[in-house]
Amino acid sequence: MGKTIASQIITVTIFIISYILIFSGKIERTVASLLGLFVLLSFGYAFGFLNFEDVLMHVDWEVILLLFGMMTYVGILAKTGFFKYIGIKAIKMTHGNSWLIFLYLGLITTFISMIIDNVTTILLIIPLTVEIAEMLEVNPIPIMLGEAILSNVGGVATMVGDPPNIMIAFASGYTFNDFIAYLFFPVMTSLFLAIIIARVVYRKWVKKQGKNIDKILQIDARKYIRGMKKMRLLLYVLIGMIAFFATESYTHISPSFVAIAGATFALLITMEEPKEAFSSVEWSTLVFFIALFSLVGGLQEVGVLDGFANWIAGLSGNVITIAIIILWVTGLTSSFVDNIPITAAMIPVVAVLSHDLHTGLLWWALAMGVGMGGNITPIGSSAGVIAISLSKRYGHEIKNKDWLRFGTLVGIASMAVCTVFLLIM
């Protein structure tokens, strides 16, 4: 059948139904994506327009391996107590000042999220936040919200800070340094704006100082460390990984190989059983990526995405206008649905447009849109969903009104900042 109208209609219909199932939450997203792939290939084999080998070619295995390596490494590092250690150190420096607790933990979350997946960062930092807030008898909701929002902002700054950025990096060919060069300043501006908004929104909350400060000051942060020597060696490995990420354009060593090497050294340093070490890997997420790449590959094979790219290009002949359209469309879409499938669907479209228009600006518009847009609503990012889930578990639920009061303002303000930076770029 090939690239016929019939094959395109079948593929688009199955793709849309698959995405509806993914976003609805009625079926777990990995199962929904695998079901969609199964149905697509069943029709493909039956009518002769698609087979498994065709879609498998579109799976970006470098993305999968990079995520696997980083998940393994971070899981091993977390077990040393490193993240709790720096969190306690920061809180002790605040002497119970509510605003400084918000600021320090928020900034720690931001910068950790530049190197480590922001979902992992939230999973590590929120339990500690609640524990300390309850000890000080302060409301932890503003702090948890700040951590979730700022983790999303921070993740946009680097190639490895957010899964969509990893996907964009391998699709575009841009390096770790390129992401910092083009995205660091918009992220820092958005971060500064978010802090100002927080100071205004939580002006009454910050007046309530913490109690039991003596208990906090007496906590020995080192008691959270399980193996100082191992922790130091693992941090040396992290420094080495960042160095290789930053020098990729000179060494030509793939970031995915660096991540796998880092995980390997971490296993050797700790001598942990692989089964235990790999328990930190989000296997369902990796399978979700594989199925998603394959579904989008089906659209590419039948020629749908080329047509969509030509349609967007026809909206305007101006590169800046197209970049702003991509920024806001992906940003607003990502505020209601997971940004990973949005990114997967848009990458081939942006690839065609970038080639035809001879510009890399559209890649940065996509990265900023799917990253910053997730802050607009409580369900717009994985980090936000995890933060809300944890807040319920610990008895300090982040409600929709809490998110709209702060997160939505930050999300829209960040998108506006990114629009200005696109004009400057």
Together in a domain, 41 and 58: no
321-339, pLDDT tens digit by residue? Answer: 999 999 999 999 888 766 7
Domain, as residue range, for 9: 1-50
Q: How many domains does the chain have?
A: 2
Q: How many CB atoms lie within 10 A of CB 358?
A: 7
Task: Check whether residue 19 and residue 133 sit in a common domain.
Answer: no
Task: Say yes or no: 226 and 321 in one domain.
Answer: yes
The dihedral sign for the CA sequence 199, 202, 208, 214 = negative
Residues 297 and 282 in one domain: yes
Residue 177, pLDDT score: 92
Is 410 in the same domain as 284? yes
pLDDT tens column, 103-158: 999 999 999 889 887 777 887 888 888 888 888 888 999 999 999 999 999 999 99
Instruction: Verify that 250 and 399 share a domain, yes or no.
Output: yes
Are 64 and 45 in a shared domain?
Answer: no
Q: Is the pLDDT of residue 27 over 80?
A: yes
Residues 143 and 124 in one domain: yes
Q: Which residues contact 132 (CB under 8 A, 6 or more apart)?
A: 87, 88, 91, 101, 216
Against a cut of 0.85, is the pTM above it? no
Is residue 166 located within the same domain as residue 283?
yes
Same domain assignment for residues 160 and 229: yes
- Percent of the chain's residues with pLDDT above 90: 36
- Please give the single-letter amino acid code of residue 223: K
DSSP 37-78: HHHHHHHHHHHTS--HHHHHTT--HHHHHHHHHHHHHHHHHH
The answer to whether residues 362 and 253 belong to one domain is yes
Work out whether the CA dihedral 185, 336, 31, 291 comes out positive or negative. Answer: negative
Q: Which of 126-140, 158-172, 303-317 has the lowest mean pLDDT?
A: 303-317
Shared domain for 39 and 64, answered yes or no, is no
Q: pLDDT tens digits, residue range 350-392?
A: 998 898 888 889 999 999 999 999 899 887 777 887 788 788 8
